[in-house]
Amino acid sequence: MHRSWFRVFVAFTLLLISGRARADDPARKSAQPQPQAVVAADHARRMQAGLKLFKERVRPILTRSCLDCHGGKATKGDLDLSDRAGLVESGVLEEGRLVALVAHTDKPHMPMKAPRLPEPEVDAIRRWVELGAPYDRPLIELSKAASGRKASQKDVIGADARNFWSFRALKVAAPPAVRDEGWARTPIDRFILAKLESKAIAPNRAAGRRVLIRRLSFDLVGLPPSPEEVDEFEADRSPNAYERLVDRLLASKGYGERWARHWMDVARFAESHGYEQDYDRPYAYVYRDWLIRALNDDMPYDRFVRWQIAGDELAPGDPWASAATGFLGAGAFPTQLTEAEFESARYDELDDMTSTTSLAFLGLSAGCARCHDHKYDPIPSEDYYRMAATFATTIRAEVELPLGDGSKPTKAQITSEGLPHTKHHADDRGFPHFYAKTYVLNRGDVHQKKAEAAPGFLRVLTEPGVADAFRVDAPSGWTRTSFRRAGLARWLTDVERGAGRLAARVIVNRLWQHHFGRGLVATPNDFGAQGERPTHPELLEWLALDLIHNGWRLKRLQKLMVMSAVYRQDGRFDEARGRVDREDELLWRYPPRRLEAEPIHDAMLDVAGLLDRRMGGAGTLDPNMTRRAVYFFIKRSQLIPSMMLFDWPEHLVSIGRRGSTTTAPQALMFMNSPLARRCAEGLSRRAGSKTAAEAIQKAYKIAFGRAPDAAEAGLATSFLTRQAAQYRAAGAADADARALVDLCQSLMSMSEFIYVQ
């Protein structure tokens, strides 16, 4: 090995000597031009050609099409095209990115809100970049639109930005006139029917009563109606039977359990820290219990918002208000850190609070402005950091709260200030848990601090000159918290001067989505430029104003939605209308929807007679738990397998809308899981009767709320006969009972069991 290495070394040395000798050869020297002269001459030619192209072709293009968004200090996405220094600093010259952006081969397409540049203009920019992208002088001097900009212009949100549909003040829209007056039951129906009539589409007829009670029960409480409830509703011919059913379900304790689970998706709620170690947060469940309680009590939504941000400051005498702040601290956090990671981890924590707040309540991705101005929405980095500074001293804490009547205090995880922090492993290395000041960071880098960020709000949603109006002063003698969060909470729900108009639109849309399968805005967590536009903008405005004018009461608004004729339609499809509106955006039918993981789990236990209705308290990781699925302990690294099969979220970021996949393991769960078998046994016990025919009738009524038709009854009878014969042949003494269990398991495996019509 030594000799081999030596031979390589000698050969390499000889090669170097040979190369140097060739370079020193006089003949080669005289034949080669001087490199510096060549480079200088070539550079001069390229510069001259580039400047000529810039003045004649590129400068007019940039001034006309680019400078309004990317000029001087009024820049978007940290891209400043006003001079060459800004262009180079932005990094878009690297790997041809500028050309890719204007050629629309990379995103974000530029210009963003205008057609693609003509191909000759793209070619001119491409050639200019190849020639070194030279400028003869800054563009800022050449643009009339830019000439009046000051250095502080980056801090100003223009009128055009404020005029975006979701940022505007709410606009009163009267329900439109329609031709078919008899179909409309509520003002909602007029908005829907007017659009249908404009497309010459007729809505579907009303669904049958069995379909309606099943639809309502799953929507409002997340459980199937009992056979007795179905029979009673079908037999009740009084004119207000449907309304009384709606009122009963809205008053049910199951309502809070059902709708709290929807909000837990939005709040990225979980009960562990996440990351590799994923230590438990054993007292985080109190926030979930507060959600259930608040929704059952029909807490006004504006208070619901404010308490999750600053309940401890706004209602210090109410222990449940402190429990509500569990929202802020529900995000993941890496508990094992080195000293070098302390500050960046804290900024990540602030980012989680800021991003989730903006997504959950405003449907805006403010977190995208952490490293640069938001590329699509009018959210400068400064606004992001001002909002983050609101949470500068906010930490997780575990405290005793007197939540029960006369019972001992309950330990709860809250998110507040001035309390002992929740302990974790980074404490051993001196993690400070918060830094007193928050800085604007260049490109989100803690090593590139700029100015200190003062607490503030998103200016596109704030009337100019009124920021101080949201300040909340601490009570006399109060020193524990800063009351910055109280100011943010007030701003979030102020309809006239703050973000309340957008908050109202967002929650109305979330309610609509869960009742109709799709929001009026199909992107519930994105009401910005990249989000979908509302299919019925006037209806969204009308509903938001209705919510505000009626005390922000969610149950009242939900009742209005489910009382409508559009909600009561059946799901019949026909190709003629489908060709006009394939995706049912105009709501001419009520399409079937698969249940989510939680109501599937709960319905299995309910029809089996095994559902434990106890409410509240700590959850469990036991996949065979018989309480409602909302009480599963959510450990980020150990999610419940049966729930994950049906698209349970990963609880890392705010989820506005779950996916709905169909996979083979879903069917295998019903066929093979121990829980499915236990539930089938429970259903068979409830359906057991003297005759097979009676058992079949009962099983269908319990599972589907209806009797089997003649064909289904015949198939079920044949199935029981064959199965029982096979069990007897195998020597089973309880052949008939086992066959009935198999039938019940088959019924629970049918699509009808997990779909709402």
pLDDT one-digit tens code per residue, 740-756: 999 999 999 999 999 99
Residue-wise pLDDT for 181-205, tens only, equals 999 999 999 999 999 999 999 999 9
**Dihedral angle of Cα 195, 196, 197, 198, to the nearest 10 degrees:** 50
Pairing status of strand 410-416 against strand 439-441: unpaired
Instruction: Give the model confidence (pLDDT) of 307-327 as tens digits.
Output: 999 999 999 999 999 999 999
Please check the confidence at residue 147 and state whether its pLDDT lies above 60. no
Peptide bond preceding 409: is omega within 30 degrees of 0, i.e. cis? no
Does the pLDDT value for residue 9 go beyond 90?
Answer: no
Question: Residues of 470-498 as b/e, b for ≥16 C-beta within 10 angstroms?
Answer: bebeeeeeeeebbbbbbbbbbbbbbbebb
- Of 113-127, 210-224, 306-320, 468-482, the range with the lowest mean pLDDT is 113-127
- Average of pLDDT values for 106-120? 82
Separation of alpha carbons 470 and 390, rounded Å: 13
* pLDDT beyond 70 at 117: yes
Q: CB-based contacts of 433: which residues, under 8 Å, 6+ apart? A: 346, 395, 421
Q: Which two tokens stand for residue 183?
A: 């179909």
**35: confidence class by pLDDT, cuts 50, 70, 90:** low
Does residue 6 have a pLDDT over 50? no
Confidence (pLDDT) at 63: 81
Every domain of the chain and the residues it spans: 2-31, 41-144, 300-463, 669-756
Which helix or strand (DSSP H or E) is residue 53 part of? helix 35-53
Residue 400: beta bridge partners? 411
Q: How far apart are CA 255 and CA 270, in angstroms?
A: 21
Q: Read off the pLDDT band of 36 (50, 70, 90).
A: low
Look over the chain and give the mean of its residue pLDDT values, rounded to a whole number.
90
Contact at 8 Å (CB) between 648 and 639? Answer: yes
| Residue 239 phi, psi dihedral angles, 5° rounding | -65, -20
The answer to whether 600 and 632 have CB atoms below 8 angstroms apart is no
Does pLDDT of 34 surpass 70?
no
What pLDDT digit, counting tens, does each position of 557-595 carry?
Answer: 999 999 999 999 999 999 999 999 999 999 999 999 999
Q: Cα(525)–Cα(318) distance, rounded to whole angstroms?
A: 31
- Average pLDDT on 269-275 reads 97
Q: Which two tokens stand for residue 373?
A: 């101005």
In contact, 164 and 548? CB cutoff 8 Å: no
Share of the chain above pLDDT 70, in %: 91
* pLDDT digits 0-9 by tens, 620-637: 999 999 999 999 999 999
pLDDT 10s digits, 88-105 = 777 788 778 888 888 888
**How many other CB atoms are there within 10 angstroms of residue 696's CB atom?**
25
Q: What is the pLDDT of residues 360-407, one digit of tens each?
A: 999 999 999 999 999 999 999 999 999 999 999 999 999 999 998 777
Residue 755, strand partner residues: 594
Residue 8 has pLDDT above 90, yes or no: no
For residue 242, pLDDT beyond 90: yes
Strand partners, 79: 76
Assess contact for 238 and 620: CB atoms under 8 A. Answer: no
Model pLDDT for residues 656-708, shown as the tens digit of each residue: 999 999 999 999 999 999 999 999 999 999 998 889 999 999 999 999 999 99
Model pLDDT for residues 59-78, shown as the tens digit of each residue: 888 888 887 788 754 567 77
d(CA 138, CA 423): 54
- Residue 124's pLDDT band, with cuts at 50, 70 and 90, is very high
Query: Of 12-21, 243-252, 555-564, 717-726, which gets the smallest average pLDDT?
Result: 12-21
- Quick one: which H or E segment has residue 412? strand 410-416
